[in-house]
Structures are given as C-alpha cells and as structure tokens.
Chain A
Amino acid sequence: MFFHIVLERNMQLHPRYFGRNLRDNLVSKLMKDVEGTCSGRHGFVVAVTGIENIGKGIIRDGTGFVTFPVKYQCVVFRPFKGEILEAVVTMVNKMGFFAEAGPVQIFVSNHLIPDDMEFQTGDMPNYTTSDGSVKIQKDSEVRLKIIGTRVDATEIFCIGTIKDDFLGVINDPATV
C-alpha cells in the first residue's frame, strides 16, 4: 500500500553549503539520503514530495556542521499481510518463484502455487497447468496475496501465495 506521510529527519549540513541556496541544498541532500531507503516502520520511501518545515539549525561544536530538523512529506510503500499485489516474476525454480513489486522481493513457494500447476525445467523454467493454458515464467506478471512481510534496513521481503481465487498470471509475456 502507498501512503503519503510526513516524516522528520535531522540533516547535517557542511558549512560550505551555507548561503543563498541553503534550502535547495538541504532538500537535494534530503532526497539523496532518504529516497530508496527502507524503514521497518514506514516501509520504502519512494519519493519526497514536499517540505513541511525546516527548524532552526544547531551548530555542532568543533566541526562547524549544522543540524537542521526537517519535516518533509513523502510517498512510502509498505506491503501488508493480506494485501493483494501485482508483481513481475524474476526467477522460477523448483522451489517456487521470486517476483518483484518495485523494491519488494516476494517469494511464492511451490506449496502456495495451485496443485495443478507443475514445474517444467529447461532454458526457460516455468510453472504450467496440465492443459498448458496458464504459464508462469520469468517476466510474467502475476497477482498475488501477501501472507508475510519483513522489512530490513534496505530490503523488504515478502511471502506470497497465488493459491486463491482470482490470483495468478495477469499478463503473459509469451502471448503478447
């Protein structure tokens, strides 16, 4: 799920950036620092959308660095248990398949793939139904349900399932 929230961060700025462009420098450093990072609480920071407020800077003794408390708006992405996601398959093997939804890595084990789909080896390993009508392979797009999530400092891991109604392949690259 995506959220638009306000977060706060203490930014340390080198004295060489002080001047007319202080604010711009602060914002670009903020974007560089936080976009693409993960926090266990909020998930993956997709983009900074605006600055709410920049507090008074505090000068650090000895270094001359200044710390500014910055409140900013950003879009975050965090998967939840029970959420339905669409993801792109990145790897298929006999254990199941791995898929990605942006920064989120999802594993769907073969226990959670419908029983009528069977693993086929070859240079393009895939899961196929016995009649061959549905095929999951690398680059397929699938709709899946999250049953477990774990957020690390830089990565989000999820366990997914497609063993439920209306889940599975939504777009097969082979047929396009």
Chain B
Amino acid sequence: MSVVTDSPAHSSGSDDFISYLNDALDASSPDSSADEEAETQDEFEDVRNKRRKLESTEETEGSTSEGIMEHKLVVAESSVKVDVCTHPGSFGEMCIRCGQKLDGESGVTFGYIHKGLRLHDEEISRLRNTDMKKYLFSKKLYLVLDLDHTLLNTTILGHLSSEELHLLNETDSLEDVSKGSLFKLEHMHMMTKLRPFVRTFLKEASEMFEMYIYTMGDRPYALEMAKLLDPQGEYFNSKVISRDDGTQRHQKGLDIVLGQESAVLILDDTEHAWMKHKNNLILMERYHFFASSCRQFGFNCKSLAETKSDENETDGALAKILEMLKEVHCTFFDKLQGDLVDRDVRQVLSSVRGKILSGCVIIFSRINHGALPTLKRIAEQMGATCLMELDPTVTHVVATDAGTEKSRWAVKEKKFLVHPRWIEAANYFWQKQPEENFVVKKTTNPL
C-alpha cells in the first residue's frame, strides 16, 4: 500500500486514489492486438465519460485530490486535440509529434534506424530537402553500398573447399579488425574476406559521400559486416539497411534512403535488384574470393583463395571505381552550371559513362542472340555507335569467333577485332580497355 502513503496527491481516502489509478490505467493501456483496437477505443470513451460524471459529482461535493487531478488530465487531452497535427510519422504506433495513438499501417518503416519507427512521405521529403541543402553546402552526395561481391565476399565455413582450408590458419584477429581483411566469425559459422583497397575506398569516399550499406543479407549479418568495415562506427552510423527493412521483396529501393534521388549513387553488383533506380547504379565487377561464391554464379575456375592470390590492391575494381566517383563528384560540384539544387547526379553519371567509348563505331558478329541486346545497350550507354551493316567508319568488330566474314574483314582492313568481354570490362572499369588484351581466337573446327 505504499502507493498511497508515498503519493503526494494523497489527501483523502486511500480507496479513492486506488480507484482513480485503476481508471487511469484502464484508460491509457491499449491492448496490443490489433483486432481488439476498436473495442479498447470504445472502452476508452466509456471510461472518459464515466470520469467526467465522476468529476462533476466530486466537484460539487468539494475538491478532493482526485477531482483536481482528473481536471488536469482532461485539460491536457483537450489541448492536444485542438492542435491539428499532420502526424508526420510514428514510433511504437504513436504520432511522433503529438503522441496520439495511430493506426500502425501507414507510412514507411525505418526499422534500420530504430525499431518501431515509421515516417510518412511528406516527412521523408521534408527531411530529404533539409538534408540536401546541408550536404550540398558541405559538398557531399549520397552513396549506397552493397556488401556481398561488392565490398567483401563471405562463405559458410562448411563450404570451404579442401584447397581453401589453409585460410583457417590465416585469419586476422577480431580484436583489431581495422588492420585485417580475412575474418572467421565463429558464432555465425562464416568466413569473410574484405575486398582489397576497401578501407582506403571507404575513407576517401566518406569525404565525398554520406554512405549507406544496403544488402540483401539479413540484419544480424549486415550489422556484423558493418562492424568489420567500420569498427569505429564513423561511416555507417545507423545507416545499415538489410533485406528485413526493404519495402519490396527481392528488390532494393531508395524509398527508405533519406537522400534525394538526384543526389544518390548506388554501388552494387546486381543490376536487377535496382529495377527502379538503374540510372543511379554503378555496376560492380563481382568479387569472388571463395570457391563457393564462384560456384554459386556458375564459374568452374579456381577461386582466388584456392590459387592463393587476390585482386590487385592499387589496380582493382574498387580503386577504379573510386577514381570514377571522384570524377563524378568533381563534375557535379565544380563543372556544372546553375543552381546546386537543380543538378542531377544521374545526368553526370550518364555523361561520364558516355565518354568511355565515345568515337568507337562497333559492329557485332556472331554474338549469341540472347546477349546481343544487352551488349548493344551497354555499348551505346558508353557512347559507342552500334551499326548493323559493315561500313568504312567501323572501328571495332566485336566477335566471339575470328572466322566469321566480318572478323576476316576486320583483319584485312586493320580494324580492331575484340571479344565481347572488351565491352564488359570497359563497363566495369569505366575506362576503354586496351584492345590487344581481348583478342579473338579462331575456333579450331572450320565450317
């Protein structure tokens, strides 16, 4: 009974106060199950009516402590009602601005920031706008990074091939993750290899970009990886998005990224995950360190781990992409004319991409019909002109076989004869590749 004796409001009978408490508890404790929501609403109304009646009788009798407190409560409630709130978002199904209980289904969930947080479209765009001004002022754009095959490669310990078992003795200590690149996560039964250059990449990119992680892995995995990449928590502080947070299955979307789409770049190895945001996407060459990852994508070659090699630190995919990001960043802020707010990083990206193969006139010969449209699209995005008929202006013949008519023509006319991989490589490295590395071999069986 110490409720009563400790309470400062206590002045009259203790039973009164207990009954008040019971009322108050009944009134403000919602039932967590959704289907009983309506019922509790009714109850709530009932209790309030009862209370009003109670209050009026009490007041005529003279002021008890209960009467005073009830009065205050009613005043507080009504003042909230007068202030019309737009309910910009909710936390634990309450409006974040006025505290009113809301229907939990509206708005976009931001579970990656905090459990139970939801925001409405207007609030998201308001946040994006205020954010945008601040970041443009400090010359920053947004960069959304994928984890697997982009920044690192992970395998389940049980999937290590016999030739990779030597790795088990070569893992780096988890005590100081900032120095190592190969980690064994015993509790998750996983081994993770960070892509070479990734630390420098993150450090330099963080000066130009506000960075997010966006992965198709689940939340515990994503957080664990974020810890490896960013042990100090300086880059990805509450900006780690996992598949549990996405609004659409098997798709990634920028709707839960708090950045204006015109200022976001995406770095990912899977194009079809970003159906709605292809123009923001920078496609990465996949990083396969472990054999299980190679097999998953249908490669039968030896993995990097099996051959005890790795991507080149200074010349690898991340280093190339960082250079390109610097160029885009520099173009966006220093070379473009007009108001900063009107600039669009997607246009910058496509113009940078359009310079890669500009001046090249390409003709395709004996390319698989399935692959042709994609190759053609990629080549055109990089600024090349694709022809269907032979023409003296042609500079490159892309073929898989040196024996075709067009290939022979290329050799005779001293044009470049290259493998389709030449186009793919240019696309990944954002640079025209030396043609002599992509020579087409004659197939052995002549037709």
The smallest beta-carbon distance between A142 and chain B, in angstroms, is 16
The reply on B117 being an interface residue by CB < 8 A is yes
| Bound Cα distance from A57 to B99, whole angstroms | 45
Residue pair B114, A4 in contact (C-beta under 8 Å): no
Residue pair B28, A123 in contact (C-beta under 8 Å): no
| Bound Cα distance from A91 to B232, whole angstroms | 15
Quick check: which of B29-37, B163-171, B195-203, B249-257 contacts chain A, the rest being far away? B29-37
Residue pair B116, A81 in contact (C-beta under 8 Å): no
The reply on B405 being an interface residue by CB < 8 A is no
The reply on A102 being an interface residue by CB < 8 A is no
Total interface residues on A, using CB and 8 Å?
A: 36
Residue of B nearest to A78 (CB): B25
Given A3-B21, A157-B93, 13 more A-B residue pairs with CB atoms under 8 Å apart are A4-B1, A4-B6, A41-B25, A81-B99, A93-B113, A95-B96, A95-B113, A107-B91, A109-B88, A109-B91, A112-B96, A146-B99, A151-B30
Residue pair B232, A123 in contact (C-beta under 8 Å): yes
Contact with B along A113-130 (1 / 0, CB 8 A): 000000001010100000
Q: Which residues of B contact A158 (CB under 8 A)?
A: 92
The smallest beta-carbon distance between B75 and chain A, in angstroms, is 10
- Closest 5 CB pairs between A and B? A148-B99, A157-B92, A147-B99, A109-B96, A40-B29
Contact with B along A90-111 (1 / 0, CB 8 A): 0101111010000001010101
Q: Which residues of A contact B357 (CB under 8 A)?
A: none
| Bound Cα distance from A159 to B26, whole angstroms | 19
Q: Which residues of B contact A98 (CB under 8 A)?
A: 114
Residue pair B32, A40 in contact (C-beta under 8 Å): yes
Residue pair B28, A91 in contact (C-beta under 8 Å): no
Find A94's partner among B80, B88, B127 (CB 8 Å cutoff).
B127
The reply on B258 being an interface residue by CB < 8 A is yes
Residue pair B96, A96 in contact (C-beta under 8 Å): yes
> Inter-chain contact count A-B, CB under 8 Å?
103
The reply on B24 being an interface residue by CB < 8 A is yes
| Bound Cα distance from A91 to B134, whole angstroms | 20
B residues sitting closer than 8 Å to A (CB atoms) are 1-3, 6, 21, 24-26, 28-32, 72-73, 76, 80, 88-89, 91-101, 110, 113-114, 116-117, 119, 127, 130-131, 134, 210, 232-234, 237-238, 258
The reply on A71 being an interface residue by CB < 8 A is no
The smallest beta-carbon distance between A53 and chain B, in angstroms, is 15
Q: Contacts A5-B3, A147-B80 given; indicate if A159 touches B30 (C-beta within 8 A).
A: no
| Bound Cα distance from A21 to B136, whole angstroms | 70
Find B114's partner among A91, A94, A125 (CB 8 Å cutoff).
A91
The reply on A23 being an interface residue by CB < 8 A is no
Q: Which residues of A contact B89 (CB under 8 A)?
A: 95, 109
Q: Which residues of B contact A148 (CB under 8 A)?
A: 94-95, 98-101
The reply on A8 being an interface residue by CB < 8 A is no
Q: Contacts A82-B76, A109-B96, A125-B237 given; indicate if A152 touches B32 (C-beta within 8 A).
A: yes
Residue pair A123, B234 in contact (C-beta under 8 Å): yes
The reply on A153 being an interface residue by CB < 8 A is yes
Sample 20 A-B pairs with CB under 8 A, ordered by A number.
A4-B2, A5-B3, A82-B72, A82-B76, A91-B113, A91-B238, A94-B131, A95-B89, A95-B117, A105-B114, A107-B91, A107-B117, A111-B97, A123-B234, A123-B237, A148-B101, A150-B93, A150-B94, A157-B93, A159-B92
Residue pair A107, B3 in contact (C-beta under 8 Å): no
Residue pair B96, A159 in contact (C-beta under 8 Å): yes
The smallest beta-carbon distance between B47 and chain A, in angstroms, is 13
Q: Which residues of A contact B98 (CB under 8 A)?
A: 147-148
| Bound Cα distance from A121 to B210, whole angstroms | 10
The smallest beta-carbon distance between B342 and chain A, in angstroms, is 23
Residue pair B127, A111 in contact (C-beta under 8 Å): no
Q: Which residues of B contact A93 (CB under 8 A)?
A: 113, 238
Residue of B nearest to A153 (CB): B32
Q: Which residues of A contact B131 (CB under 8 A)?
A: 94
The smallest beta-carbon distance between B260 and chain A, in angstroms, is 13
Q: Contacts A93-B238, A157-B94 given; indicate if A107 touches B114 (C-beta within 8 A).
A: yes
The smallest beta-carbon distance between A18 and chain B, in angstroms, is 33
Q: Which residues of B contact A105 (CB under 8 A)?
A: 92, 114, 116
Q: Which residues of B contact A159 (CB under 8 A)?
A: 91-92, 94-96, 99
The smallest beta-carbon distance between A1 and chain B, in angstroms, is 9
Q: Which residues of A contact B30 (CB under 8 A)?
A: 40, 150-151
Residue pair B97, A109 in contact (C-beta under 8 Å): yes
Residue of A nearest to B29 (CB): A40
Q: Contacts A93-B238, A150-B30 given; indicate if A42 touches B25 (C-beta within 8 A).
A: yes
The smallest beta-carbon distance between B194 and chain A, in angstroms, is 21
Q: Which residues of B contact A80 (CB under 8 A)?
A: 24, 28
The smallest beta-carbon distance between B227 and chain A, in angstroms, is 15
| Bound Cα distance from A147 to B85, whole angstroms | 13
| Bound Cα distance from A127 to B72, whole angstroms | 32
Residue of B nearest to A106 (CB): B91
Residue pair B101, A150 in contact (C-beta under 8 Å): yes
